[in-house]
Structure 1
Amino acid sequence: MMRSLETEFVLLLSNPDFSKKEVYNLKSKLKSGYIDDYFKKANKIKIILSDKKEQNEEETSNNTPELSVYEKQIVSQVEKLLRTEAKLTVKQAVQLLFENLELSPLSKRSFSDQILYLIQNRDGSSIINAAHKIRNEILHNKESDHWPLREL
């Protein structure tokens, strides 16, 4: 008897090694747009396991993959924080963000490609937190230049 994909998924979720919290966290991630990321990762694993890497390279060179909702949200939020609000150049924004996350930036890549690279290597919340931190430091430093404290 062959089991369906849905049955396999239910069996996976019923695994007693996973806590209720882990299952709940997965459910939350699936609801918030992570599902596309899981399908992309699964496809990559399938290609590797079936040794069809060459076929994948041909497909990706012919069309650029669509960004998932999650990826679009991260890129948009980071761009808003660093480029719009902090008024950083692309180079400055990328450099500060990568330094903050203790990674080396990619050379000659677009802003969104750099952020997508970060998404593959760090979780989205740490990327957003780093962008907030950089933005706040820049805005607070600029404010202190314009409004010096006077001595009483």
Structure 2
Amino acid sequence: MESKIRAVGTLTLVEEAQRDRIGSQLECARQQSEALQARLNALTELKSFHQAQGPSMSCRLSLMNMTMVDRMLQTMLHHQTHEQAVMQAECHAIQNQLQKKSQRVHGLEQVLERWQNKQKYEKAKRDQKLTEDIINSRLKLRKL
């Protein structure tokens, strides 16, 4: 029983270390997601500013440049939106993984506690039996 308790204790420590590593990955992914969101907001702002400026120039070349800039901004916005969605999905997957790992650690801790309680109970039972045997043997010696 002692070896089982040690094994579960070691396994619990390993699982906790993995859970902590996954937690740090989640934090890193969240920071990346926030950075992507900030970039997306900046691009949206730039696009709205660019569109608000409008075709104030009458030159055909300027109009073509503005159209090109608008297309580039649209492409960048689309790319950033897609990247943001991928990052959010990754965060969600890591969060689910973290939750499963936490549940596993909690389950291992419960098993460890249950086995330790069982071991304490068995030890107390053995001690009580030894005490009773000692008392009974002394009583038998007195009767003789």
- TM-score for the superposition, normalised by structure 1: 0.25
More helix by share: 2
- TM-score for the superposition, normalised by structure 2: 0.26
Structure with the greater relative contact order (CA < 8 A, sep ≥ 6): 1 or 2?
A: 2
Structure showing greater Rg: 2
